[in-house]
Chain A
Amino acid sequence: MTCDDFQLQLTAFSLGELAEDERQRARDHVAACDECASRMLRDRQLTALTRASAVPAPAATRAAVLAAVRAEAGTGGAPAPRPARRARRRHWVALAAAMLAAAAVVAAALLVVPAPDPGSPLAAAWSSYHARGKDGLGTPSPKEAERLFAVLGPDSRPPDLAGYGLRQDGWEARDLAGHVAAVAEYRDHEGGRLSLMRWRGELPAVARAPDGSGLKAYRWGRHTSYWWRADGVVWCMVGTIDQGKLYDIAEHLGGES
């Protein structure tokens, strides 16, 4: 492959849209050509910057669209305003104090709910948890890791939970109801499992706390999930480990994110 050939195929190469034999030739060329390696790096920088220039919908627009949809559907419900980040943090602190004070409060916060809509991220997250990861995960390919980083930034990397007695058991990129998600698996010494999923988007409607603060917990059998959203990233934590520890981790990650 010549430099001209590589330049023509650079975009397809970076998007993973080349056939395997072409991809291998491109890899071989980049490994041997500093100039084209620099071109590839500039292309990655450019796409990361382009993605980061996304314009989120203002709260007023979201409210207007939802109100129009509900009026069209005949329900007419007024949408709740999006909470401020600071308010979410206060909610975390208040709830942490309450839940740490009494196990009964923890139990009260865990809701047993019917199966969610099959097309929702909530259903996708639970399906993903049950279908994959029981035997641990591998590591993402460089392309997957790059894509995760472009979407999630530093949050794409699995947090270190060794302080909670959990060892990391692999991570990967996964599609969750149309979202590129970073999924990490952890195990404790008793065989308990924890799966952490993060993607950029909105919390599923049924995973929002009643006051709109974005924290909610669900329990199905021995599995519990915690949901919250920070800086545009949805966090979903599902596990079978000790409930108190599970909440501590949610509080730790949610408080820092």
Chain B
Amino acid sequence: MDLEGFEAATVPHMNALYDAAVRLAGDQASAQDLTQETYLRALRSFATFEPGSNCRAWLLRIQYNLFCTQYRRGRRMPLVWLDEGEPDPALDLPSEEPGPEEQTVRELDREAVRRAIARLPEHFRMAVTLVDINGLTCAEAATVMSVPRGTILSRLHRARRRLEAMLLPELGRVQADDL
């Protein structure tokens, strides 16, 4: 078992896996379970991972399959899922010398953005999570979700328009030069 190789290849993607898990599972405890189970499954099948391919996409596919087969049944996305428990210091923005992106996010209230994403239908939410948040290409996201690339593009387009409508008042306050 090449544990060092496994960790070197997969640990850099844990934030992405956890982010996707939170958005899929809907609460932090379930997200941790889903992330952990994904890593254990990935470890068992690491021999099938093709070096040089996108490890993040490989892990996200394992996680999405796991969610669809074992976690989805009976779950519903709570609208206040980010409010539970103590605030995590890791979620705080740096307080010193904020850049334009941080300033913009502060103005908008990141919670509002997260809640807006949480209100999207699951397939839209997952497309946004994979492509817009975690940087997969549409082709990679299509492989993760086992749908055609055009379906991902369509879901993204419709998801963005819904998000735009939900966040339009805040977007209107952002200066063009801030991004």
Contacts and interface: CB of A to CB of B under 8 A. Distances in A.
Contacts, number: 185
A11 B153 contact: yes
B117 A53 contact: yes
A119 B117 CA distance: 33
Given A43-B160, A61-B35, A116-B8, A69 B43 contact: yes
A70 interface: yes
Interface stretch (A24-32, A175-183, A246-254): A175-183
Interface stretch (A99-107, A161-169, A202-210, A214-222): A202-210
Interface stretch (A71-79, A90-98, A136-144, A188-196): A71-79
B132 interface: yes
A98 to B, nearest CB: 26
Classify chain A's interface size: 35 or more
A113 interface: no
Contact of A68 (B14, B40, B88, B153): B40
Contacts of B88: 58
Interface of B: 1-9, 11-19, 22-23, 28, 31-32, 35-36, 39-40, 43-44, 51-52, 54-57, 82, 88, 90-91, 94, 99-102, 104-105, 108, 110, 113-114, 117, 128, 131-135, 137-138, 153, 156-157, 160, 163-164, 167, 171, 174, 176, 178-179
Q: Which 6 pairs between the two chains have the least Cβ-Cβ distance?
A: A57-B18, A120-B8, A154-B99, A11-B157, A201-B12, A53-B113
Interface of A: 8, 10-12, 15, 17, 41-62, 64-66, 68-70, 72-75, 116-122, 149-151, 153-154, 177-180, 201-202, 204-206, 231-232
